Amino acid sequence: MNVTVLQFPGTNCEFDTKYAFEHLEQRVTIVWHEEEMIPANTDLVVVPGGFSYGDYLRSGAIARFSPIMKAVKSYADNGGYVLGICNGFQILLESHLLPGAMKRNENLHFISKHQYLKVENNDNRFLRKCEVGERLNIPIAHAEGNYFIEEDGLKALYDNGQVLLTYCDREGNPENPNGSVANIAGICNKEKNVFGLMPHPERAMETILGSADGIRMLEGFLS
């Protein structure tokens, strides 16, 4: 499998993401944001975490105008798989590749910790190796992770099976670290080929670092 990982000024998770997929024995190419084309053999585009353009204006608001994002949109429109993690999720929201918007955390503080997630839907390429209701222990690290969508949009997400992950505690009870509507931690588009989540599965690849739950998440993309 060929994975293309994007790199913007301020990105800081591209090498973690590269390591994670290489850990799964996949080929990874890092592509600078000024490029105008995605490598022809790409099976998955990952928009990684970080602070693109220093999070000026809003997280992801400037990165959406980078030349590579036109190629990402075209790639997604043609059915290509795209995964946005943390700042990558924010960029996909700003680019209107995913519905909704991101606000400052409810407590106005940067949050960095391991957080349990509940799998709400596995009828998709990303989470197909996880079980519905399963709890995953995945790190979060963000200041603007408070996902918002208006009521009709939220209903559409649930009706179409687009809500993939919600925040919970160890036992699976709702636990909301940032104020996200309906405790949402991750979603996909209606076509189920564009995915976004605030937690960092690429940082949960080894038990010695606190969790290896990210492995089964990312393995879903493997052929």
Joined tokens for residue 36: 């105008």
Q: Strands (DSSP E) along the chain, which ranges?
A: 2-7, 27-32, 44-47, 81-85, 101-103, 111-119, 135-142, 146-148, 163-168, 184-188, 194-197
Joined tokens for residue 86: 């943390």
pLDDT (0 to 100) of residue 152: 98
pLDDT (0 to 100) of residue 165: 98
Name the residues annotated as catalytic.
86, 200, 202
Joined tokens for residue 29: 């190419």
Query: For residue 136, which of 223, 210, 49 has the smallest C-alpha distance?
Result: 210
pLDDT (0 to 100) of residue 136: 98
Start-to-end C-alpha separation, the chain: 7
Instruction: Please state, in angstroms and rounded to a whole number, the distance separating the CA atoms of residues 216 and 203.
Output: 13
Query: For residue 14, which of 25, 4, 2 has the smallest C-alpha distance?
Result: 4
Instruction: Please state, in angstroms and rounded to a whole number, the distance separating the CA atoms of residues 187 and 84.
Output: 10
Q: Could you write out the DSSP letters of every residue in 170-209?
A: TTS-B--SS--GGGEEEEE-TTS-EEEESS-GGG-SBGGG
Instruction: Please state, in angstroms and rounded to a whole number, the distance separating the CA atoms of residues 65 and 91.
Output: 10
Residues paired with 74 in a beta bridge: none
Joined tokens for residue 144: 């603007």
User: What are the average pLDDT values for consecutive 10-residue runs of the chain, which has 223 residues?
Assistant: 97 98 97 97 97 91 96 98 98 98 97 98 98 98 98 98 98 97 98 98 97 97 88
pLDDT (0 to 100) of residue 57: 86
Query: For residue 18, which of 34, 31, 37, 5 has the smallest C-alpha distance?
Result: 5
pLDDT (0 to 100) of residue 56: 87
pLDDT (0 to 100) of residue 118: 98
Instruction: Please state, in angstroms and rounded to a whole number, the distance separating the CA atoms of residues 136 and 120.
Output: 11
pLDDT (0 to 100) of residue 3: 98
